[in-house]
Amino acid sequence: WGVVALVLGMGLVIWEPFPPGVWHDDGVYVLLSRALANGEGLRYTGVPGAFLAPKFPPLFPLVLAPVWIVSPSFPENAAFFGAVNLLFLAVFGGLMMAYLRRRLGLSAGLAGVAVGLAVISPVLWRVAMIPLSEPLFLLTLVLALWAGSRMESKESAGRLALFLVAGGLALHTRSLGIAVLVGGAGALFCRRRWKDGGWILLGSVAVALPWALWSRWAAQALPESLKDILGPYGGWLLGEMGRDPAAYLGFLVENGGSLLARILALLLPGVTGHPLWVGLALVPVLGVGLWELGKRSLTLPLVLLSTLFVLLLWPFQAVRLLTPFQPLLVLGVVMGFHRLLTHRVRPGRGRWAVGLLAGCWVALFASVSLVRLFSGWPGELYRVRSDALAMAVRAVEEHTPPHAVVGAPELWSSLHLFTGRQ
């Protein structure tokens, strides 16, 4: 509860209100939540034809829908949509602390270092300042990891079901949640619980299939010209794989390097470009940490590895996709240094060198993160885009009739929310 209060207090100090839609997905989530609150279903109500929305998993819009019921007037209620994420991030911090202490058996000091570094990450706060689904996904991720560790520790149908529920919540918040379910099944297989692992795989299919089928069915109604913006990615990605397998394999090799660079960027805030590769020294430390965590619960490292495998296949090389897993990466490095300093390295120069590296990394991560947090870095991009959105809203209101259809692939959701134009 202390961690919850500290994170919430920090969030209230650094948080800035931004209009929904300054990015892209944030405006669509708000639009979908309004449709759900009005009983219209999961629909793109701002688009001519009000097509069903097969691209965005439904849990986050469902969570935002009550805001419209309690405060239906827009834009007066705009600040509430971003504020919801402050609560999610605070609860995540408390749950993460409890999970590390109660399920993984970490000391209060070690758990505090890992959680403290995780919750001051400015990258994490950047996605929390506007209504994006990452903070809710973080919450469901910790719940799934907790349920996974309980599932590993004792054979029980109830514990299997609880993990499937938590993993299903993660999947219906962000599609990357499929890696959570795969990681849980893999943990049981590694422990030679073949039957239970099989049940988790079958249960995962049962959990994922309704949304997958509905999404595919809803996408068929979209006009071809709108599928790129409004349609799901799955079918397109499979098509790209089959169209030119050799080119796709070449892309995988290139994407592997990009993925490693994104991981290092999350572990070394403020370090960019060529100097980022000095962080390669952290890779074996991370490996040691994940191995140590795996002794306590295999679900955690296998979920992270499954996620990295999915991102290796994924064509969009954005650091945002990895952001919800930054706390696990940080935890892995903290555990790696702890293991090396207490078990693996003999007293003398070796331990001194590892201790120096650990101290430098903690100092860099903490200092850069705190400076960025309290200097307004998380909202920097949103201020620029807020100005662009304000100009776009004025232009649309001044130069188009009220029933106009406006071509705007980037700001379409927010333009509809603020101007009523389709």
**What pLDDT, in 10s, does the model give residues 87-105?**
999 999 999 999 999 999 9
How many Å apart are CA 340 and CA 77, to the nearest integer?
Answer: 50
Task: Supply the pLDDT for residue 349.
Answer: 65
Task: Supply the pLDDT for residue 360.
Answer: 93
Q: Which own/partner pairs from 338-347 qualify as long-range (CB within 8 Å, at least 24 positions apart)?
A: 338/110, 338/289, 338/292, 339/288, 339/289, 339/292, 340/285, 340/288, 344/288
Q: Which residues, given as ranges, of the chain have pLDDT below 50? A: none
CA torsion 41-46-51-55 (nearest 10°) is -80
Token pair belonging to 118:
């995780």
Burial track 32-53 (b if 16+ CB lie within 10 A, e otherwise): bbbbbbeeeebbbbbbeeebbb
* CA distance to 95, 253, 325, per residue, from 110 (Å): 15, 36, 19
Task: Supply the pLDDT for residue 236.
Answer: 66
- Mutual orientation of helices 59-70 and 25-37 as an angle, nearest 10°? 60
Burial (CB < 10 A; 0-12, 13-18, 19+), residue 250, is exposed
pTM assigned to the model = 0.93
Task: Supply the pLDDT for residue 270.
Answer: 86
Could you tell me if residue 166 is left (phi over 0), alpha (psi between -120 and 50 degrees) or otherwise beta?
Answer: alpha
Task: Supply the pLDDT for residue 2.
Answer: 93
How many Å apart are CA 422 and CA 416, to the nearest integer?
Answer: 6
How many Å apart are CA 82 and CA 30, to the nearest integer?
Answer: 10
In contact, 33 and 64? CB cutoff 8 Å: yes
Task: Supply the pLDDT for residue 284.
Answer: 94
How many Å apart are CA 113 and CA 97, to the nearest integer?
Answer: 10
